[in-house]
């Protein structure tokens, strides 16, 4: 059973907290989802902190007294976290995101402005695989309390400015109601302490090209007399954060180096399209993709062919399944290419095996190549292989990414032939990336690719990549090899 983590930042909400929690717990989610409530008290001064501490020890009794049905209490859990000093909403959310254990995460304010009955609407695009992130819009046609013209104008101005920097068309960037796949929000390196968290999240998910949906929600806004906390100062902070996190901050992904790099590369739309267009002439209509990762090439391959995506990591396969399961001709399977080929893949009738930036991660690359040949037996299909090139470029960047090697052309050809293939062609690829790799890896000894440089590469791509496609390159950062099994 999957779980929705509901992260609730709290500061001086003693009078509304119990009612809010009762509303959250009473909502039915359907789809077999459980609820995990993550309460983060940001050093409240009005008695809320003591109330949260009491909830931590006896929340089911207290919620039953609020009228929450026993069946809803059985399918929920509650965690209470505390800040020792007041740090702000952003800090409380970061604490809650780190503690959440669910498959999906939603933000819920501790007042009564937002209606938890909107949860099913927010979750629907996530559950059916259409979206990675869903925003609940207060300005998209749902019933709402008419309130505070200038506050509304401020929200809409900030949304407009954010859209201009992120190239999104949101109607409500500042909304509390944001729902995420857990890996999306937990993969962001967030820094904001206060209300700047809203534009920061928006800027970073935009940079990573996540699929964002927006749904209308109801809204019952508070006045300042009723306890509203955001003010003019926070508006100016939001202006700065929109600029800062859209233009200046390049450190926005966290996690292991390999996963971090995959996430960064997924955002390079022009580069990924260039790679796809380079290999597309060699691809047939039934493709086995080895090492699909985050699906940065899978989405292009599905435009022309049936694709069976494989990867060693079950989490990657779960993500791809949620993203592409609605596509006709898509299938996914967890598989380590260095291990024996499963029967269902052996009999898959594949006319193409696509293996991009995978072989260098495998110690026994010969066994991996032989398994890929077995997937093509009886079809006369092609292997389309991309590997990092040039021993002299091997550096801490490669070691950090888990590369056992970089290949020289003759070495790669010999290995592929040893595995039972006959080679059709070998192409150099990505001459533009050679200088950056050499400087960062060999000279600066870095283990991570700087995001700012990747962004610059993406901007230069429209100028450089067409030239690369139109001439025969004498060198490059990578090698593309195309081969067929020997009869």
With 90 as the cut, is the pLDDT of residue 288 above it? yes
pLDDT at 451: 64
Which pLDDT belongs to residue 145?
A: 59
Listed residue (319, 324, 203, 218) closest to 267, CA to CA: 203
Sign of CA dihedral 141, 133, 298, 438: positive
**Spans of all domains in the chain:** 3-248, 257-485
Which is higher by pLDDT, 323 or 26?
A: 26
Q: Write down the pLDDT at residue 148.
A: 62
Tell me the two tokens of residue 205: 């998910």
Helices assigned H by DSSP within 116-268:
119-127, 149-166, 182-186, 197-207, 232-243, 257-266
pLDDT at residue 146 tops 80:
no
CA distance 465 to 271: 8
Place 322 in a pLDDT band, splitting at 50, 70 and 90.
confident
- Segment among 62-66, 149-153, 242-246, 335-339 with least mean pLDDT: 149-153
Least confident of 125-129, 152-156, 215-219, 375-379: 152-156
The residue assigned the tokens 């009738």 is 349
323 or 46, higher pLDDT: 46
DSSP characters over 424-474: EEEEEE-STHHHHHIIIIIIS--SS--HHHHHHHHHHHHHHHHHHHHS--S
Nearest-CA neighbor of 6 among 32, 36, 30, 27? 36
Of 233 and 286, the one with more pLDDT: 286
Q: Which residues of 158-179 are buried (b: 16+ CB within 10 A; e: fewer)?
A: bbebbbebbebebbbbbbbbbb
> In the predicted model, what is the mean pLDDT of residues 234-246?
76
Can you tell me the distance from the alpha carbon of 425 to that of 472, in angstroms, rounded to the nearest whole number?
12
Q: Which of 476, 427, 435 is nearest to 456 (CA)?
A: 435
174 pLDDT above the threshold of 50: yes
Q: Residue 459: left if φ>0, alpha if ψ -120 to 50, beta else—which one?
A: alpha
Which position has the token pair 């506050």? 151
Higher-confidence residue of 339 and 32: namely 339
What pLDDT was estimated at residue 225?
Answer: 46
Residue 223 pLDDT exceeds 60: no
Which residue matches tokens 């450089």? 464
**pLDDT tens-digit map of 44-99:** 999 999 999 999 999 999 999 999 999 999 999 999 999 999 999 999 999 999 99
Comparing CA positions, the residue from 285, 281, 286 lying closest to residue 425 is 281
Proportion of the chain above pLDDT 70, given as a percent: 87
Averaged pLDDT for residues 32-42: 95
Which of the following CATH numbers is that of domain 3-248: 3.40.50.300, 3.60.40.10, 3.90.1150.10, 3.90.550.10? 3.90.550.10
pTM: 0.73
In tens, the pLDDT along 442-465 reads: 999 988 777 666 666 677 766 666
Q: How does the average pLDDT of the chain come out, rounded? A: 87
Question: Do 43 and 84 meet the contact criterion of CB atoms below 8 Å apart?
Answer: yes
d(C-alpha 320, C-alpha 232), whole Å? 42
3-state helix, strand, coil in the chain (%, to 5): 45, 20, 35
| Rounded Cα gap, residues 153 and 248, in angstroms | 26
DSSP strands (E only) in 283-351: 286-290, 306-311, 330-334
Q: How confident is the model at residue 224 (pLDDT cuts 50, 70, 90)?
A: very low
Judged by average pLDDT, the poorest of 145-154, 318-327, 344-353 is 145-154
pLDDT digits (tens, 9 = 90+) for 376-389: 988 889 999 999 99
CATH homologous superfamily of domain 257-485? Vaccinia Virus protein VP39 (3.40.50.150)
| Choice between 155 and 436, residue whose per-residue pLDDT is larger | 436
Q: What is the pLDDT of residue 158?
A: 83
Query: Taking Cα atoms as reference points, which of 210, 244, 208 lies closest to residue 133?
Result: 210
Closest C-alpha to 131, from 175, 74, 180, 201? 180
Contacts of residue 76, defined as CB under 8 A and 6 or more positions apart, other chains included, come to: 25, 34, 35, 36, 37
Find the mean pLDDT for residues 423-437.
91
270/262 Cα distance (integer angstroms): 15
Tell me the per-residue pLDDT of 348-363, one tens digit each, with 9 for 90 and over.
899 999 999 999 999 9
* pLDDT for 151: 59
């Amino acid at each position: 059973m999957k779980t929705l983590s509901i992260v609730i930042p709290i500061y001086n909400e003693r009078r509304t907290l119990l009612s809010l929690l009762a509303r959250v717990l009473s909502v039915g989610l359907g789809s077999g989802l459980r609820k995990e409530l993550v309460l983060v008290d940001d050093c409240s001064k009005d008695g809320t902190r003591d109330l949260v501490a009491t909830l931590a020890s006896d929340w089911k009794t207290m919620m039953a007294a609020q009228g929450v049905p026993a069946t809803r209490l059985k399918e929920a859990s509650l965690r209470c976290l505390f800040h020792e000093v007041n740090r702000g909403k952003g800090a409380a959310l970061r604490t809650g995101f780190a503690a959440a254990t669910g498959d999906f995460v939603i933000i819920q304010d501790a007042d009564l402005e937002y209606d938890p009955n909107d949860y099913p609407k927010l979750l629907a695009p996530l559950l059916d695989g259409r979206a990675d992130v869903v925003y609940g819009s207060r300005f998209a046609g749902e019933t709402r309390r008419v309130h505070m013209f200038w506050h509304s104008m401020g929200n809409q101005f900030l949304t407009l400015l954010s859209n201009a920097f992120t190239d999104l068309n949101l109607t409500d960037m500042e909304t509390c109601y944001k729902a995420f796949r857990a890996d999306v929000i937990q993969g962001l390196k967030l820094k904001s302490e206060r209300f700047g968290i809203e534009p920061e999240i928006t800027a970073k998910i935009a940079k990573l090209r996540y699929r964002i949906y927006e749904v209308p929600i109801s809204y019952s806004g508070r006045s300042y007399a009723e306890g509203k906390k955001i003010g003019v100062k926070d508006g100016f902070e939001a202006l700065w954060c929109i600029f800062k996190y859209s233009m200046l901050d390049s450190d926005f992904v966290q996690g292991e180096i390999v996963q971090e790099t995959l996430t960064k590369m997924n955002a390079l739309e022009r580069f990924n399209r260039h790679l796809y267009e380079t290999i597309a002439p060699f691809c047939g209509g039934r493709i086995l993709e080895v090492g699909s990762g985050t699906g940065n090439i899978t989405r292009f391959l599905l435009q022309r062919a049936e694709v069976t995506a494989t990867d060693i990591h079950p989490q990657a396969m779960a993500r791809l399944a949620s993203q592409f399961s609605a596509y006709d001709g898509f299938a996914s399977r967890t598989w380590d290419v260095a291990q024996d080929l499963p029967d269902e893949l052996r009999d898959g009738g594949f006319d193409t095996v696509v293996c991009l930036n995978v072989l260098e991660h495998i110690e026994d690359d010969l066994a991996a190549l032989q398994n890929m040949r077995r997937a093509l037996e009886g079809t006369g299909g092609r292997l389309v292989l991309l590997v990092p090139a040039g021993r002299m470029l091997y550096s801490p960047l490669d070691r950090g990414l888990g590369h056992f090697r970089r290949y020289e052309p003759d070495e790669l050809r010999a290995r592929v032939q040893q595995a039972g293939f006959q080679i059709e062609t070998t192409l150099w690829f990505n001459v533009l990336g050679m200088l950056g790799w050499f400087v960062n890896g060999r000279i600066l000894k870095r283990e991570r690719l700087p995001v700012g440089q990747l962004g610059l590469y993406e901007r230069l791509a429209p100028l450089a990549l067409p030239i690369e496609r139109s001439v025969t390159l004498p060198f490059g950062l990578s090698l593309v090899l195309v081969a067929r099994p020997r009869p």
